[in-house]
């Protein structure tokens, strides 16, 4: 059984990085799987429900802002991926990971560049990671509405950078990322 693994949230200035691991199994019957970034939010949400209902196994995990700042975003991403794989209820025969790097796992794993566009299991993982992270960022918006997380999901948009300058750095911002680090150094933190 093949397990696909992908992440969401490496580039944002705020919030955790998410990863998902998915084993579709034979004849899952799920159509329309693609790189989550190429799907509308509505289509992603519908597919996430279908993946959770029909996949042989799936798991979503994350690494916290504190972990990102402590070990760097790449290592935190690999940590979230490892947690997702380890959380599966079924042990896969092989793990296919989108990108260039693979997490330290006990099962044979290999990286596939643009795997989220070419491997159904990775596409499914991409969708689960993205929808889970987006949902979490909406929760953060309820706690920190002044930053506009509901619109940019923590990415470094002009509006987010302006909100950071106006409101300071919150506890959910990644202090190791340059735009945030500069503001923290200048004493602009909440």
> pLDDT, tens digit, for every residue of 144-183?
999 999 999 999 999 999 999 999 999 999 999 999 999 9
Q: Which domains does the chain have, with CATH numbers?
A: 2-141 (3.30.420.10)
Count CB-CB contacts under 10 A for residue 67: 17
- With a CB cutoff of 8 Å and minimum separation 6, the contacts of 70 are none
Find, among 70, 68, 42, 69, the residue nearest to 134 by Cα: 42
Distance CA 42, CA 17 (A): 21
Q: Is the pLDDT of residue 25 over 90?
A: no
- The three-state secondary structure class of 9 is coil
**Mean pLDDT of all residues in the chain?**
95
What pLDDT shows up at residue 188? 84
Crossing angle for the helix pair 158-167 and 178-185, to the nearest 10 degrees? 20
- Convert 10-54 into a string of H (helix), E (strand) and C (coil): CCCCECCEEEEEEECCCCCCCCCCCCHHHCCHHHHHHHHHHHHHH
Q: Is the pLDDT of residue 57 over 80?
A: yes
**Helix, strand, coil in percent for the chain, rounding step 5:** 50, 20, 35
> Sign of the CA dihedral 84, 64, 11, 44?
positive
């Amino acid at each position: 059984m093949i397990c696909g693994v992908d992440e969401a949230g490496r580039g944002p200035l705020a919030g955790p990085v998410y990863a998902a691991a998915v084993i579709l199994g034979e004849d899952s019957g799920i159509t329309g799987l693609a790189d989550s970034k190429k799907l509308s939010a509505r289509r992603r949400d519908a597919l996430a429900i279908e993946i959770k209902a029909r996949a042989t196994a799936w798991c979503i995990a994350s690494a916290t802002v504190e972990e990102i700042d402590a070990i760097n975003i790449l290592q935190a991403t690999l940590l979230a991926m490892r947690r997702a794989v380890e959380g599966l209820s079924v042990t896969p025969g092989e793990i296919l990971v989108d990108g260039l790097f693979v997490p330290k796992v006990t099962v044979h794993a290999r990286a596939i560049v643009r795997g989220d566009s070419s491997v159904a299991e990775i596409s499914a993982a991409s969708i689960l990671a993205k929808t889970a992270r987006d949902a979490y960022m909406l929760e953060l918006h309820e706690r920190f509405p002044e930053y506009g997380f509901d619109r940019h999901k923590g990415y470094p948009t002009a509006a987010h950078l302006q909100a950071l300058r106006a409101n300071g750095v919150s506890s959910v911002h990644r202090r190791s990322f340059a735009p945030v680090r500069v503001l923290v150094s200048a004493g602009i933190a909440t």
